[in-house]
């Protein structure tokens, strides 16, 4: 193999390994949660995705379509909602009801 061919081969390996032919990411739905209290935990389809405090600034990414969202916090009634999330960001603005003492 000539030096020129060896260099071209090495460059091809580097470009391919660095993602020269990357697959396009499918479009995603994102859920931003603006919840009181901010310490509430958020689940999508029974999978924990983060606290409301985190999801307020970094939305959870899921496939577009129908999803069951559960929001829970100690001392508050849980809240369940089914959302049909489109591509892009959807904001869930929710204030949980406190459990009477």
pLDDT digits (tens, 9 = 90+) for 35-80: 999 999 999 999 999 999 999 999 999 999 999 999 999 999 999 9
The answer as to whether 101 is a domain residue is no
Residue 5 — pLDDT band, cuts 50, 70, 90? low
Separation between Cα atoms, residue 73 and residue 86, nearest integer Å: 27
Task: Give the CATH number for residue 72.
Answer: 2.60.40.1120
Separation between Cα atoms, residue 88 and residue 56, nearest integer Å: 15
Question: Among all chains, which residue has been given the structure tokens 């960001």?
Answer: 89
Q: What end-to-end distance do the CA atoms of the chain give, in Å? A: 81
The answer as to whether 33 is a domain residue is yes
CA geometry: angle 17, 23, 25, nearest 5 deg: 130
Give the count of domains, the chain: 1
Rounded to two decimals, the pTM is: 0.74
Residue 25 — pLDDT band, cuts 50, 70, 90? confident
The answer as to whether 46 is a domain residue is yes
Containing structural domain, residue 88? 25-95
């Amino acid at each position: 193999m000539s030096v020129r061919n060896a260099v071209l081969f090495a460059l091809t390996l580097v470009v391919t390994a660095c993602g020269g032919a990357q697959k396009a990411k499918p479009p995603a739905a994102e859920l931003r949660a603006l919840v009181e209290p901010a310490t509430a935990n958020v689940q999508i389809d029974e999978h924990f995705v983060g606290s409301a405090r985190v999801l307020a600034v970094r939305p959870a990414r899921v496939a577009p379509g129908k999803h069951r969202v559960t929001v829970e916090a100690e001392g508050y009634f849980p809240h369940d909602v089914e959302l049909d999330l489109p591509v892009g960001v959807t904001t869930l603005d929710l204030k949980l009801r406190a459990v009477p003492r």
